Structure 1
């Protein structure tokens, strides 16, 4: 039995039943809601560990629900929606969603996204009682946040201040898709010269320094038109 409770918000009965059955088979505890109003009430009262959310609900748009939840909780939110346009994905992720899965989807992919989210929660829980929160290790990559140093295969690599900020932001959100707009605001705030094209340039130079093969990135995954995600290499991640 998985220790995490998942709240499913889906108005389509067939899809809701499919997701619920899958979660039950996998040993997850779960609750369901068919519209936004009941979802918000249920989430407030039950405090789930993960939310699976459809955007096209009959009463409240899913992006509005994400915004409301983010005003008081950082619970991971996985969007499962028929909206496949990049703009819809960006809006949901910018509002605070952690991941985005487009319908029709495979159950295997949904479970894979859940496993990534569960690992993130496990990492956060293990760090809550850890005194060493300044070190990030993912495969052969190591980041010492306090010292401002980055290592690959135990060898220090030189990163510019902006490259280090970019890498650190992705590492602190490992497994989560970060949109271009989110990254730009977090790293450069209102600095107008830095736009999406500039971000791509910084990403290209960063990848040359940390990726064994830049044509097949190992650490940083591109979501075309949306943003980037730091991939989790193995279960030894800290």
Structure 2
């Protein structure tokens, strides 16, 4: 997933980029509004927007982003006034988080807005995301089925949900914590062992052990 960080404070931006990179995201940074509009592309999936920019008011920039793209926008700012929050949300922001914030909360909010945009069971999933093909393995996110050499593989609901999460980010390491949150809807680390068991079962059923790679210290990655 590609996240556009619009932040003029170098220390804040560097810390965000480091954390999001460790969490499996690809980031690009803009220091002002002009750069943000130039970097905004069809592959941008979330915008983290600071309001205090040197060349434009962040709320106005949010309106301009919304005028040309439906990408989820999360405002991350030190402005605490409720009227500022209302302005931001009315300008088209999907969420609003106040600095200083816990990065785990920011991660949860990123996951929430992207889940609303690309729900696992949505029949409105974009065509280019609904069918993932890796060699002779096909993952159909709409029909909720996996085929190997055109033969259907019987997966449990949880097993399919796990491979569906990974299929949304092919080639990108997905942290265990994110998979557990999306599949089990909890942050409990006691599910880490259950996740390992389910992944082992998926590998066994599909018969392609290299399809799901274990990324030490992070989580799992679907072969891209």
TM-score range (shorter-chain normalised) is 0.5 to 0.7
Distance 1:89 1:22, change over 3 A: same
Distance 1:125 1:81, change over 3 A: farther
Distance 1:125 1:65, change over 3 A: farther
Gaps of 5+ in 1: 131-232
Matches within 5 A, 1:145-164: none
SS in 2 for 1:113: helix
Q: CA deviation at 1:124?
A: 7.9
Distance in 2 separating the partners of 1:35 and 1:8: 10
Out of 25, 32, 37, the position equivalent to 1:35 is: 32
Distance in 2 separating the partners of 1:104 and 1:110: 11
Cα deviation 1:172-217 (Å, max 9, x = unaligned) = xxxxxxxxxxxxxxxxxxxxxxxxxxxxxxxxxxxxxxxxxxxxxx
TM-score, with normalisation over the residues of structure 2?
A: 0.54
SS in 2 for 1:128: coil
Q: Where does residue 52 of structure 1 map in the other structure?
A: 48
Q: Where does residue 12 of structure 1 map in the other structure?
A: 9
Q: CA deviation at 1:127?
A: 2.6
TM-score, with normalisation over the residues of structure 1?
A: 0.51
Q: CA deviation at 1:236?
A: 9.1
Q: CA deviation at 1:115?
A: 1.5
The CA RMSD measured in Å over matched residues stands at 2.4
Q: CA deviation at 1:121?
A: 2.4
SS in 2 for 1:123: coil
For this pair of structures, how many residues does the alignment match? 131
Q: Where does residue 107 of structure 2 map in the other structure?
A: 111
SS in 1 for 2:97: strand
Matches within 5 A, 1:103-182: 103-123=99-119, 126-129=122-125
Distance 1:9 1:124, change over 3 A: farther
Distance 1:75 1:124, change over 3 A: farther
Q: CA deviation at 1:118?
A: 2.3
Gaps of 5+ in 2: 127-180, 186-224
Spell out structure 1 runs of 4+ moving beyond 6 A: none
Distance in 1 separating the partners of 2:184 and 2:105: 22
Q: CA deviation at 1:69?
A: 1.1
